[in-house]
Chains A and B, each alone.
Chain A
């Protein structure tokens, strides 16, 4: 028996050996086995779960409101049942017909559209002319004070656009409307209406406000431009102007087009400037027309106008995306061994500096000085000592109907400031954190579809001008829907809308931070034995501390300046600084309104400086992406 067992043992070990030597082919796994394995890998860590949750949140906060307002445009709204002979919610083409083809369509849509387009084109042309020259002077010449101008000329972008609108009215307001007259009027020179209100000032102000865009985008393209490309052309015998036309301009075209498109998109959603300067002469652009439709409870027409604005915005930014792709193609050619040589201006050095200084004075110095002076003067344009007072800031027992104290002592200001801090602060904090989470999921999740969806859905609000987005929120949350109570008039709707509106910036910041970090440090921790939560706490968050701070701070600044969202969604009890100042404008408390705007401008300016300091980056880089 023993030998038998021995033999069997030998036999067994023999086969075992053979099996070990001869490779047993691994069967191709079935589709379901592959699926099960993938699911296991995907669900092993919370990344995918977090991704699915955030995707759901953003679908509700971003996609659903947009769908809701588009539906409003084609469905019978409350109050129109009788006239249309249909029930609320039935499909109808009435609003589209009214907005595009009816006798009032001209006032509702076509005229505002024409105004929007002409103002935008005017602003674009003007800012391109000024901006390209300044960008070239700053980045490629020996102009005096280049470094200083490089920062100083960007300041208009850090301030809210309608700061300049208020400064303009302070100077040029004429007797057409009531309230305190402008300085020129007060000095006996009545500015004509076309100077004081409407197309002309709006175009000028938007041009000055968006010139920094051109300086930043065009300037950075110029800086990246390789002088060797220029030199090669020169060595082959090209003249300076031939180099400019045949080499530099074609390579700069994407940057130029891109800044044009961006300015156009911004002009499309601009509300404050046309509101302050257009209203007195009934000069309407799309955003103010939308505002009027909402204010007069024309929900259906508002839906049509909002959807139109969104459509134009989306088309514009899709064009931009194409241009950026094209620009990348150029960068790869020109990026190596970048050498940046300065042109000597010679005799033109002083005039060039003068030009830059003039632009600075017109776009920053003069408006701010005007606003500042206006807040300490009782009568406009009367420069005598007894006319100056600090009452509008810190006075008490003033003989006015309302606002009987200086603005700094008025409880409304502090309430608005508190609201601003709370609403904008909370929204920024949430969107900053969500942005980092989205960035993490987008970069890390093994589920590609989730990554793509999150990236796109969080970017969607960028395509939708703020005013249209606010209208969408109003459309969705004005009435109770399902478990969601009516949110109009609450702080919640403002915070939700702000979070959604800031997500493009927050998620981009998060994604780029996570891309820069790369996956190596986290994988190293994983190899060392750290699970998901340990890695988050010990590795990812500590390393991303800086970008988390920026991810909160930058939305905060843009939120402080923001007007279009609030003007539709805020009510007096939820006033923020911007809507408060607009209310003061409406009541013709010029000094107080200007003071509030100065406060906002100061917060925005110093906040931006702080953000730049913290991240050691330039605004230019953030804009390019």
Chain B
């Protein structure tokens, strides 16, 4: 399917309510596996439903290639049944009164395909998704994971130009979810479909997507590869939303509110006086290290002395809770910690791992090169 383009797409459900989606520009290229990521209520499902045509727009337009399929200004609205897209619902929405086979070939029958071809295609997707043995059962007789496969098969059977998935894995248990993730990746390769995937689970987005679009309160926050999103978050929202345990934020410009933030401010003033207008900085727990003695703190890194107040094992790694007089930080380590609650330690972060945001929470991109170059001299 050609590129799908949302331009200035907008949705509000009532005159007085806030926009569910406001002024959204999104480009989904052929063959892409795009994840719409964001907290619940951020407008990601609404966006998906607007693409499918289940939700009409309040403003803006949607194009597929050169063709406008939805536009308020032009008065164009192609109904969902003629958009040739596939959508897998969070609830799966299997038709309870039809068998698995009838569920799967429903779309093919509507397209009036010859019987032989219909059967061949149903057979292929059923084999691909390993549900052929349930063909005569009804949806209520299947487990959640099996229903999920039927929902996928039903959409893949008609070979849609784009497959839209609305949090399809959220109702599965952890193990099944892992299996289905691998399965989705395989299907993406095998059927070469464009996939748009909605999720609030950052790991799901990270592991599956070729592109992630992070949304919040109806607006697009950042669009990029998983690594981009994680390593170079465009603003504080993205930085705080992605990563677990969440990124440590030090807010500047409030002397006395946090001794660690004051220390960071002094650090920046001393080493990077040319950087102005810093609102806050972020340190990922994984990027931080700690040392028992000041001598062991690497040169040039930002550091401070704090008290260990908690050692939390998470299986294979540990989270340390550090407290100073009026600040709490978390850092993650993969080596068995040789410290205990009450010990004094020095945390340290290399300058290149610091994320610098302005007063509005936007990333100061000029800072990145500066911090990177300075680490090694």
Question: Measured between C-beta atoms, what is the minimum distance from B300 to chain A in Å?
Answer: 39
**Among residues 509 to 548 in chain A, which have CB atoms less than 8 Å away from a CB atom of chain B?**
518, 520-521, 523-531, 534, 538-539, 542-543
Q: Which residue of B25, B85, B93, B155 is within 8 Å of A520 (Cβ)? A: B93
The interface bits of chain A over 30-42 (1 if a CB of B lies within 8 angstroms of the residue's CB, else 0) are 0001101110110
Which listed residue, A28, A520, A543, touches B89 by the CB 8 Å rule? A520
Contact assessment for B7 and A23 in the assembled complex, using a CB-CB cutoff below 8 Å:
yes
* A519 to B189 Cα, complex, angstroms: 31
Q: Which residues of A (1-42) have their CB < 8 Å from a CB of B? A: 23-29, 33-34, 36-38, 40-41
Are B95 and A539 interface neighbours, CB within 8 A?
A: yes
A28/B106 in contact, CB under 8 A = no
Instruction: Assess whether A44 is interfacial by the CB under 8 Å rule.
Output: yes
B77 touches A37 (CB 8 A): yes
Are B96 and A521 in contact (CB-based, < 8 A)? yes
Given contact pairs A33-B72, A520-B91, A530 touches B77 in the complex (Cβ within 8 A): no
| Bound Cα distance A528, B73 (Å) | 27
**B85 near A528 (CB under 8 angstroms)?**
no
Considering the chains assembled together, what is the distance between the CA atoms of A542 and B98 in angstroms?
10
User: Does A446 interact with chain B (Cβ within 8 Å)?
Assistant: yes
Residue of chain A at shortest CB distance from B89? A520
**Contact at B60–A26, with CB atoms within 8 Å?**
yes
The answer to whether B107 touches A40 (Cβ under 8 A) is no
**Chain B residues in 8 Å Cβ range of A446:** 56
- CA separation between A40 and B73, bound complex, in Å? 12
Residues of chain B within 8 A of A37, CB atoms compared: 56-57, 71-72, 75, 77
Contact A27 B73 (CB under 8 A): yes
Residues in B whose Cβ lies below 8 Å from that of A523: 54, 80, 87, 89, 93
Q: Are B75 and A44 within 8 A (Cβ)?
A: no
Q: Which residue of A lies closest to B6 (CB)?
A: A26
B59 on interface, CB distance cutoff 8 Å: yes
Structural contact, A526 and B75, CB atoms closer than 8 A? no
Q: How far is the CB of B342 from chain A (nearest CB, A)?
A: 37
The distance from the CB of B117 to the nearest CB of chain A, in whole angstroms, is: 16
B88-136 at interface with A (beta carbon < 8 Å): 89, 91-97, 106-107, 110-111
A527 touches B87 (CB 8 A): yes
Bound-state Cα–Cα, A542 to B106, Å:
15
Contact status of A529 and B77, CB under 8 A, knowing A37-B56, A446-B56:
no
* Residue picked from A29, A45, A538, A539, most chain B C-beta under 10 Å: A29
* Complex contact A529–B54 (CB within 8 A): no
Chain A residues with CB below 8 A from B91, complex form: 518, 520
Indicate whether B8 reaches chain A with its CB closer than 8 angstroms.
yes
Interface string of B327-344 (1 = CB under 8 A from A): 000000000000000000
Q: Total interface residues on A, using CB and 8 Å?
A: 34
* CA of A468 to CA of B75, assembled, Å: 49
Identity of the chain B residue whose Cβ is nearest the Cβ of A36 in the assembled complex: B75
Of the listed residues A33, A524, A530, A543, the one surrounded by the most CB atoms of chain B closer than 10 A to its CB is: A524
Distance, CA A518 to CA B91, complexed state (A):
10
Cβ contact within 8 Å between A40 and B75: yes
Q: Is B154 an interface residue (CB 8 A)?
A: yes
Please determine whether A526 and B54 come into contact, CB atoms closer than 8 angstroms: yes
A411 to chain B, nearest CB (A): 45
Across-interface contacts of B73 in A (CB, < 8 A): 26-27, 29, 33
Q: With A44-B77, A520-B91, A524-B87 as given contacts, are A529 and B158 in contact (CB-CB < 8 Å)?
A: yes
Contacts of A24 in B (CB 8 A): 7
B79 interface residue (CB < 8 Å to A): yes
What is the bound-complex CA distance between A329 and B85, given in angstroms? 42
The smallest beta-carbon distance between A526 and chain B, in angstroms, is: 5
Closest chain A CB from B218 CB (angstroms): 16
Expressed in whole angstroms, the minimum distance between the Cβ of A466 and any Cβ of chain B is 37
Contacts of B85 in A (CB 8 A): 527
Q: Does B81 contact A (CB under 8 A)?
A: yes
Q: Which chain A positions have C-beta within 8 A of B71?
A: 37
**Complexed CA–CA distance, A518 and B89 (Å):** 12
- Nearest A residue to B25, CB-CB: A23
Cβ < 8 Å to A, chain B residues 30-72: 52, 54, 56-61, 71-72
The answer to whether B93 touches A521, judged by C-beta atoms less than 8 angstroms apart, is yes
Most A C-beta atoms less than 10 A away, residue of B71, B94, B110, B154: B110
Q: How far is the CA of A23 from the CA of B8 in the complex (A)?
A: 10
Question: In residues 366-401 of chain A, which contact B (Cβ within 8 Å)?
Answer: none
Residue of A nearest to B107 (CB): A528
Given contacts A25-B8, A446-B56, A542-B97, contact A528 B77 (CB under 8 A): no
Residues of chain A with a CB closer than 8 A to B54's CB:
523, 526-527
Check B7 against A41 for contact (C-beta < 8 Å): no
| Other A-B pairs beyond A518-B93, A526-B80, A528-B155, 18, CB < 8 Å | A24-B7, A33-B72, A37-B71, A38-B56, A44-B77, A520-B89, A521-B94, A523-B54, A523-B89, A523-B93, A524-B87, A525-B95, A527-B52, A529-B84, A529-B107, A529-B111, A530-B81, A531-B81
A contact set with B: CB distance below 8 Å: 23-29, 33-34, 36-38, 40-41, 44-45, 446, 518, 520-521, 523-531, 534, 538-539, 542-543
8 contacts between A and B (CB under 8 A): A26-B7, A37-B57, A520-B91, A523-B93, A531-B81, A538-B106, A542-B97, A543-B96
List 9 A-B pairs, minimum CB-CB distance, nearest first.
Answer: A26-B8, A520-B93, A528-B107, A524-B93, A29-B73, A29-B72, A37-B72, A529-B110, A527-B87
